[in-house]
Amino acid sequence: MILELAEVLGVKISPEIARPLFAAIATDTGWFRFSSVQEKTFLALAKLVAAGAEPPAIFSALYEQHSLSRLHLRGRILDHVVSDLEGRLMSTHVTLQDFEETGANKTDTEDAINALHTVAGSVVAALFVELEEGVTKVSLRSRTDFDVSAVASQFGGGGHRAASGITYQGSLEEARKDILDALRVAMG
C-alpha cells in the first residue's frame, strides 16, 4: 500500500496526499462494502483522516457533483432494468439514442451498475452500453461467490470473480442475448 511505503520512507502525509489516497481506498473497496475490507483498511483510513482527508467532502466530490444530463441518463438506465432468474440476474442497457437524447457521455455510465445490486435477491448485475454501432461494452458484477469472469472469458473479456468486463463486437441486441443466455446457463 502507498501509505505503508510513505511511512517506511518517512514521507509526511499532507492533506494533498491524504485526500486522493483516501478516495482510492474508498472507491476500491466500494466504500467499505467489499469482503476485502479488513481492520488494517480502517487503521490506514484513520491515519489519512488525521492527516487531513475529509470523508464527506471526498464522497461529495466523487458522487454528488454530476451533470443534469447524467441524471437524465440514469433515469433511462433504470427504466431499462430487467429482472431474470427470479431476481437473481438483473440487467439494463444504454443505447446510442439514450446518449444523444440526454446529452450524457460514456463516462456517465461508470457506476450505474451498482443500482442493480440494490434490488433484494440480486446476485449478478449486467450493464450493456452501446459504444458505437456494432460495439457494446458489457460490465458484469457479482455479489456472491458466483464467478462473472468465467462468463466474461467466454466472450474474450476479463476481470475477476466479482467484477469483469467485455467489449462485444456486435449489436446491443446480440450482446444482450448472447451474454444473458450464458449467464442464465452458468447461474442455473
Query: 84 is in which domain, residue-wise?
Result: 68-187
* Mean pLDDT in residue range 33-45: 89
State residue 48's pLDDT score: 96
> Model pTM?
0.84
H or E element at residue 166? strand 163-169
Q: Return all residues near 80 (Cβ < 8 A) that are at least 6 apart.
A: 92, 93, 94
Do 86 and 37 fall into the same domain? no
Segment 104-155, tens digit of pLDDT: 999 999 889 999 999 999 999 999 999 999 999 999 999 888 999 999 999 9
Segment 51-82, tens digit of pLDDT: 999 999 999 999 889 999 999 999 999 999 99
CATH code, domain carrying 114: 3.10.310.30
State residue 137's pLDDT score: 98
State residue 104's pLDDT score: 98
Domain boundary at 63, 81, 116, which? 63
CB contact at 8 A, 153 and 147:
no
The total number of structural domains in the chain stands at 2
Domain boundary at 44, 63, 82, which? 63
Closest CA to 162 of 40, 41, 34: 34
Mean pLDDT in the chain? 95
Do 134 and 87 fall into the same domain? yes
Integer Cα distance of 9 and 13 in angstroms: 11
